[in-house]
Amino acid sequence: MRIGELASAAGTSTKTLRFYEAQGLLPAPNRTAAGYRDYEPTVLDRLDFVRRGQAAGLTLAQIQQVLEIRDGGQAPCGHVRDLLDKRLVDIEHQLRSLTALRDTLTSLRDEATTLHPDTCGPDQVCRYV
């Protein structure tokens, strides 16, 4: 299938497909006599995996590692589990940071609603941030 057909079937753009190909996420397709890319239908499954990996928060580099393992004939399940474990640790850290930020913002906002603006010093822009 040509690149436009693949892009339409995958719900993406031809620019994205060319980028994925350049990054090694897609194998180099066969070429027609006229030089057009001619993708195998199985590339749709690979694109679906890339999309699901991104939705899970994996980077394209991590997704490429998984694809390389699979292309090498091995099951990448253990590697994927390790990547997901790391992603979960990162998410937990982000949640703790966001919770602390929310608490700080709530405190600042509460303080801003109980104090009068005239209490700011002449050299202060705003005492609340």
Whether 21 and 28 have beta carbons less than 8 Å apart is answered as yes
pLDDT, tens digit (0-9, with 9 covering 90-100), for 43-88? 999 999 999 999 999 999 999 999 999 999 999 999 999 999 999 9
Q: Residue 35 belongs to a domain with what CATH number?
A: 1.10.1660.10
Predicted confidence at residue 115, as pLDDT, reads 73
* Same domain as 3, residue 52: yes
**Residue 128's pLDDT band (boundaries 50, 70, 90)?**
confident
Number of domains the chain is built from: 2
* Same domain as 2, residue 52: yes
* Same domain as 94, residue 47: no
Q: Kindly state whether residue 65 falls inside one of the protein's structural domains.
A: no
Instruction: Kindly state the average pLDDT of the residues 112-127.
Output: 75
**Which secondary structure element, helix H or strand E, spans residue 91, and what is its range?**
helix 77-114
Would you say residue 109 has pLDDT above 80?
Answer: yes
Predicted confidence at residue 98, as pLDDT, reads 98
Q: Kindly state whether residue 68 falls inside one of the protein's structural domains.
A: no
Residue 111 belongs to domain spanning: 75-116+123-129
